[in-house]
A and B are shown apart, each in its own frame.
Chain A
Amino acid sequence: DIQMTQSPSSLSASIGDRVTITCRASESITTYLNWYQQKPGKAPYLLISAASSLQSGVPSRFSGSGSGTYFTLTIRSLQPEDFATYYCQQSYTTPRTFGGGTKVEIK
């Protein structure tokens, strides 16, 4: 299985901060990398597919980059509704695997 490692596992940030979450794959997945946002009690929500393709309706303050084994999710200016847990997921092969999650909390 391809292992996905996210860091940090949690972070505290203030409204307006720039936040970067990293995701590393245990082997190359080219750009088969997706990012999801999950709020408590809710299903995950797809933010970015194919490493950098912003989904329709997702605010432009979210961006993704990377290829191979190293990827980042950046939130340019953190808003109150962005406090949530973020997961990366590889879709290069089965089994699909997720990172352990990054919880973004209010400082």
Chain B
Amino acid sequence: QLQLQESGPGLVKPSETLSLTCTVSGGSISSLSYSWDWIRQPPGKGLEWIGHIFYTGTTNFNPSLQSRVTMSVDTSKKQFSLKLDSVTAADTAVYYCARGAYDSSGHRPALDYWGQGTLVTVSS
């Protein structure tokens, strides 16, 4: 059974960089059938897609965050990471990592496995 687990600081100061890592266990990270996604959810609000990365290092980001986001992947450790620069209180949210699974024709991806989420609070 595939499992994803987020890790990283739960408190980040304004203007600093938020850094999170997602560790994948129980399956491979090295397949083009999957993207590795980050999604966030401010307290009491809806879901926002941050972006994703493939094991090759190819990325796609939400334009609303693109100037501040970096993602990387380490296939040897089965980990992928998120960095978000210059954070403000508006970046306070539960951050989820998830797997985007493509169908047999390579289309129609869906987020089929999720980490439990980690709350990151931006505050001095």
Answer yes or no: do A and B interact.
Answer: yes
- Is the beta-carbon distance between B47 and A44 smaller than 8 angstroms? yes
Report the separation of the CA atoms of residues A50 and B47 in the bound assembly, to the nearest whole angstrom: 19
Closest to A93 in B: B60
- Is the beta-carbon distance between A46 and B47 smaller than 8 angstroms? no
Number of chain A residues whose Cβ lies closer than 8 Å to a Cβ of chain B: 24
**With A94-B60, A99-B46, A100-B46 given, can you name 17 additional A-B contacts, CB distance below 8 Å?**
A36-B111, A43-B117, A44-B47, A49-B103, A55-B112, A87-B46, A89-B47, A89-B49, A94-B49, A95-B51, A95-B60, A95-B64, A96-B37, A97-B49, A98-B46, A101-B46, A101-B47
Q: Among B37, B62, B63, B110, which residue has its beta carbon within 8 angstroms of that of A46?
A: B110
Chain A residues within CB distance 8 Å of chain B? 1, 31-32, 34, 36, 42-46, 49-50, 55, 87, 89, 91, 94-101
Write out the residue numbers on chain A whose beta carbons fall within 8 Å of the beta carbon of B62.
94-95
Residues 47-65 of B contacting A (Cβ, < 8 Å): 47-49, 51-52, 60-64
Instruction: Categorize the interface residue count of chain B.
Output: 20 to 34
Closest to B103 in A: A50
Q: Give the interface SS of chain A, mostly helix, strand, loop or mixed.
A: loop
Residues 94-119 of B contacting A (Cβ, < 8 Å): 96, 98, 100, 103, 107-112, 114-117
Write out the residue numbers on chain A whose beta carbons fall within 8 Å of the beta carbon of B48.
98
- Is the beta-carbon distance between B117 and A98 smaller than 8 angstroms? no
- Is the beta-carbon distance between B108 and A89 smaller than 8 angstroms? no
Report the separation of the CA atoms of residues A88 and B34 in the bound assembly, to the nearest whole angstrom: 20
Closest to A100 in B: B46
User: Contacts A31-B108, A49-B108, A98-B48 known; A44 to B114 CB distance under 8 Å?
Assistant: yes
> Which 10 A-B pairs have CB atoms at the shortest separation, nearest pair first?
A49-B110, A43-B114, A96-B49, A95-B62, A98-B47, A34-B110, A50-B108, A94-B60, A91-B109, A46-B112
Write out the residue numbers on chain A whose beta carbons fall within 8 Å of the beta carbon of B117.
43
Q: Among A1, A31, A50, A89, which residue has its beta carbon within 8 angstroms of that of B111?
A: A89
